[in-house]
Amino acid sequence: MDRILIIEDDAETAAAVAAVVRALDCAAEHRDTLDAGVAEAAGDYKVIVLDRTLPGGDGVDAIARIRAGGSRALILVLSALGRAAQRVEGLEKGADDYLPKPFEEDELRARLRALLRRGTMQVLDNDLLAFGDLEIRMKARTVHVKRAHVPVSPKEFELITYFARNAGQIVTRMQLLENVWNLHFDPGTNVVDVHVGRLRRKLEDAGSPAIQTARGEGYVFAPLPAAGGAG
């Protein structure tokens, strides 16, 4: 069972977050001061939900301490300090996501689910990106699902690599045009949809429904954990 740490001094908010965490079949641990949270963050957590205005200081300023303590958890800042400049500050100081208070439980659930999916990626010796049963080998430029080779074209390999590096996040058609095709305008063709559709079918045929459509927004790369694995 994946573990999520909640560092939040408001008991009502902490209880609401914990309920969302448990609805995702994860275990919730709670600390209500910054120092206690930083100390606990060294444990085996997939995600840390971090408030900013805590007894002991600003949670965002403690992100560096959390990382220095060895934590590899993804960090979601959940704060009433929700102006654009404050969100940018949090992300620039190392947060992986930032959700202003008050929050909708459905949105928090979606944000946590996305971070958990991103957390399934492992980077081994700068060559292998592994998402459960799906593996991408950067040097060989090959894709495998359940150790079976999935033949992809050079452009499809660029696509899956970009998706992998943005796993769990919505990727728009314009982002794909800019980063995979190096086009900074919309050519008015369905080139993105055709290539994504072809890659998605290849992965699904191999047993990995990794690419999902975010209706009206783009795509989300969210491979399933390995069969029998946690999460």
The DSSP call for residue 60 is: G
Extended beta strands in 46-156, E state = 47-50, 53-54, 57-58, 74-79, 97-100, 121-124, 128-131, 134-137, 142-145, 148-150
CATH topology of domain 3-118: Rossmann fold (3.40.50)
Contact 198, 156 (CB under 8 A): yes
Centre a 10 Å sphere on the Cβ of residue 171 and count the other Cβ atoms it contains: 24
Query: What CATH number does the domain located at 121-221 have?
Result: 1.10.10.10
C-alpha torsion angle, residues 105, 110, 111, 117 (rounded to 10): 150
Report pLDDT for 23.
93
Separation of first and last alpha carbons in the chain: 6
Q: Which helix (H) or strand (E) holds 174?
A: helix 173-179
CA distance 127 to 148: 18
Report pLDDT for 222.
84
Residue type, 28: A
Contact 51, 59 (CB under 8 A): yes
CA distance 231 to 70: 22
Report pLDDT for 27.
96
Report pLDDT for 228.
41
* Domain residue limits, the chain: 3-118, 121-221
Report pLDDT for 118.
67
With 0-12 / 13-18 / 19 or more C-beta atoms within 10 angstroms meaning exposed / middle / buried, residue 51 is buried
231 residues of the chain, pLDDT tens digit each? 899 999 999 999 999 999 999 999 999 999 999 999 999 999 999 999 999 999 999 999 898 889 888 888 889 999 999 888 888 888 888 888 889 999 999 989 988 988 887 665 555 556 788 888 899 988 888 999 988 999 998 899 999 999 988 888 889 999 999 889 888 778 788 889 999 999 999 999 999 988 988 888 899 998 765 444 433
